[in-house]
Amino acid sequence: MLRINGLSDQEGRYFLDDPAREVTDLFHSSSPGVWIGQGASQFHLSGEVDSNDFTSVLNGRPPRSTLVPRHRRRRVGYDAIFAAPKCVSVLFSSSDHDQARAVVNVHHEALEMALGYLEQRALGIQRTDAVSKERHVLGIQGVTAARFTHGISRSGDPHLHSHVVIANLAHGDDGRFGAIDARGFLGHRRAADALYRTHLRFGLTRDLGVHFQHRVDGREEISGVSDAETLALSGRSAEIRSGIRTFPEKTRASRHDIEHLWEQRRGMRSEIDDQPRLQSSSRHLDEHHYAAVISRESPTPRLVVEAWANGARAGMHAGVVARVLRRFDIPMGRGVYEPSLLKRQVSESRSIHRVLGPRPVEQARLDAWWDQRDRLMERFIREPRLRRNEQPALLFDRQQVIARARRDGPERVGSSRDALWRQERSHG
């Protein structure tokens, strides 16, 4: 889940004062903060966050620069909170530190993918044309951000999340610095969140071999993480449901002490059955989900990103989505200014899916799927004897249809037989 809040604290003490030992003890580090973002390199900021440098950035005076803010700014930055799903936080709470470190590393990798999307597509700075007085949004050369990763909630439950503090200062494509147009956060929040979660699922499957499932409401789960364990480690949710809205003090205990607390709570879990779960395909896009998202409103590039990322139920490398956008060859905007698209620009017909099946989520296999689709359409155009109302399955010869039925198994034999029947009727 991704939440974005405005930040007015010019010193950032909330982030600097929390040692986050549940995370830092895993990596034998003294600071939970690390510089990230393409803009940080412009000011030679890297590695662990220094408190003086962090305060200078929030005040609009980055170190080793000649920038001077004109006045006291009410909004010094933005706090983008990337929170892992509860099932992932349960994995992080394991006493196996190798597993916990792997979960944190994948979490960092996923949020940096989402941050890269925000830098390239969502965020910009506003400029006013000197003649027409019209305002427009320019691109930026990255953001200056600091990542602070925490692993525990205020009630002591495992809650892996990162505060990405983005300074309200960016270098525009026109060579000048300016404040970030905050409307891009609102417009692209859901797309960035979907990218984070799909890459998180992809990375955990790759590094830890976990298998993702999903409930009928779409919530992702991990095979082997029971609902009883999740409920036992969700004390904050129980407090909110009972009407307790106060914020207790955050613990500063060591990782060892926190793990002992988590084991105690696991021991008090109730014996309940898991809610029904569905297996998530790791190889193909959920075309039904994709079509439902695309059809609910006028599609835009950011809606395509959200639909693709959420349609990959078992996860997908975030870089595949960029390849998808290039494949569609659709015009791109910046920030909230994005063109509306026709549904046929970003979706395939059911006839194509009937022959080729759902689109894969792996880059190489997706490229091969598109190549087959292009050859199919080229043959359809090249041979005038094929009428437009005929199914593309008629373009495949008998051997291809039979081979597909044998390869894909019983779940697709019916559609393959149907295609074979049509082909025999057309030649009859």
Q: Give the pLDDT confidence of 50-85 residue by residue, as tens digits.
A: 888 998 888 888 887 767 666 656 788 999 999 999
Give pLDDT, residue 392.
47
Give pLDDT, residue 154.
83
Q: Are residues 74 and 218 in the same domain?
A: yes
Q: Between β-strands 158-172 and 177-178, what pairing exists: parallel, antiparallel or unpaired? A: antiparallel
Q: Are residues 68 and 188 in the same domain?
A: yes
Give pLDDT, residue 177.
86
Burial of 93 (0-12, 13-18, 19+ CB in 10 A): buried
How far is CA 219 from each of CA 207, 215, 275, 289, rounded to the nearest angstrom? Answer: 22, 5, 11, 13
Q: Does some domain include residue 419?
A: no
* Helices of type H across 130-182: none
Task: Identify whether the C-beta of residue 345 lies closer than 8 Å to the C-beta of residue 330.
Answer: yes
Q: Are residues 94 and 185 in the same domain?
A: yes
Give pLDDT, residue 36.
94
Q: Does some domain include residue 86?
A: yes
Q: Does some domain include residue 244?
A: yes
Give pLDDT, residue 241.
66
Burial of 281 (0-12, 13-18, 19+ CB in 10 A): middle
Tally of domains within the chain: 2
d(CA 233, CA 86): 9
Domain boundaries, position 20 = 2-267
Structure-token match 């409307």, residue found: 183
Q: Does some domain include residue 407?
A: no
Q: Does some domain include residue 409?
A: no
d(CA 266, CA 156): 13
**pLDDT tens across 259-272, in order?**
998 888 888 877 77
Give pLDDT, residue 407.
58
Q: Is 404 helix (H, G, I), strand (E, B) or coil?
A: helix
Give pLDDT, residue 249.
72
Give pLDDT, residue 217.
78
Q: Does some domain include residue 338?
A: yes
Q: Are residues 16 and 160 in the same domain?
A: yes
Give pLDDT, residue 68.
67
Q: Are residues 283 and 138 in the same domain?
A: no
Q: Does some domain include residue 29?
A: yes
Taking the CB of residue 333, how many other CB atoms lie within 10 A of it? 15
Residue type (1 letter), 189: R
Give pLDDT, residue 270.
76
Share of the chain above pLDDT 70, in %: 84
Out of 243, 267, 291, a domain closes at 267
Which residues of the chain register pLDDT less than 70? 66, 68-73, 236-248, 383-428
Q: Are residues 242 and 314 in the same domain?
A: no
Specify the pTM: 0.85
Q: Are residues 327 and 307 in the same domain?
A: yes
Q: How far is CA 213 from its chain centroid?
A: 17
**Contacts for 130 with CB less than 8 Å, ≥ 6 apart:** none
**pLDDT tens across 18-55, in order?**
888 899 889 988 788 999 998 888 888 988 998 889 98
How far is CA 119 from each of CA 80, 170, 252, 350, 387, rounded to the nearest angstrom? Answer: 13, 10, 33, 35, 46
Give pLDDT, residue 117.
93
d(CA 305, CA 311): 10
